[in-house]
Amino acid sequence: MYDFDFEKPSSLDAAVALLGDEDAMALAGGQTLIPTMKQRLASPGKLVSLAGIAELSGIARQGDALRIGATTTHAEVASGAGDYPALAALAAGIADPAVRNRGTLGGSVANNDPSADYPAAVLGSGATIRTDRREIAADDFFQGMFETALEDGEIITAIDFPIPDAANYQKFKQPASRFALVGVFVAKFADGAVRVAVTGASQEGVHRWRDAETALSRDFRSDALMDLDVAPLNMIEDIHGSRDYRAHLVKVLTRRAVEGC
């Protein structure tokens, strides 16, 4: 590790001011950023910790939605998001206890790792990402591998998750990292609309499977997916699985998620 400045402001306004420095980066749980710095893939001159800002943490019911603060840890989501069982279960399956007790919702979503779990829940729920500047719909937020709509110095403050009538997340874990080799989040809402979000599979990162959404909106049964195919062309291919294998997993896990709703 190299030398850098460390700041721990107690207010959002102070954090925003500190992040105005060109070489400053926000630090949430640090489960991604610190290893990245150790490998010199990122080298900020100043880290601005968000851990001391009380307003960025917590879980609260807001009508038909669940608002979760950006610095709320995975463990806290797992134990405190009982109004949204599928989201709580997803959080409980992230990595291991050490990561779950340090990693944060906002940090994961801001990083947008193509195999992370939370982006599937955010996109599958049709959530709204709140920042210090604006509100961003999930469909507009994720813009490819590690790419989001966040501007320089912009801080996620909370995420609003509409609570569906039924939802389920299915993940095929990469055994070493416990990231999703493929993960699928399915949510069915009161108006009959269905959202299907896929993580871990595609070179475009988290994305919606629109054909499955159309089929399930007409007939919410796993059999409604039987005639659908997932094109392997844009799938990730690595030592853990081929494109064809990942494409196959998308369909299998979507069926399982529907059956688990």
Domain 166-260 CATH class label = alpha beta
Residues 18 and 24: beta-carbon distance below 8 Å = yes
Residue 32 banded pLDDT, cuts 50, 70, 90: confident
Task: Report whether CATH 3.30.43.10 matches the domain 5-49.
Answer: yes
pLDDT at residue 1, rounded to an integer: 64
Residue 58 banded pLDDT, cuts 50, 70, 90: very high
Claim: this prediction has a pTM higher than 0.85: yes
* CATH (one of 3.30.465.10, 3.40.50.12500, 1.10.10.10, 3.30.1490.20) for 58-162: 3.30.465.10
pLDDT, tens digit (0-9, with 9 covering 90-100), for 109-141: 999 999 999 999 999 999 999 999 999 999 999
Q: What angle do CA 254, 260, 261 make, to 5 degrees?
A: 95
Residue 227 banded pLDDT, cuts 50, 70, 90: very high
Rounded Cα gap, residues 80 and 226, in angstroms: 36
Phi, psi of 44 (to 5 degrees): -65, 145
Strand partners, 202: 235
- Judge whether residue 64 has pLDDT over 90: yes
pLDDT at residue 21, rounded to an integer: 85
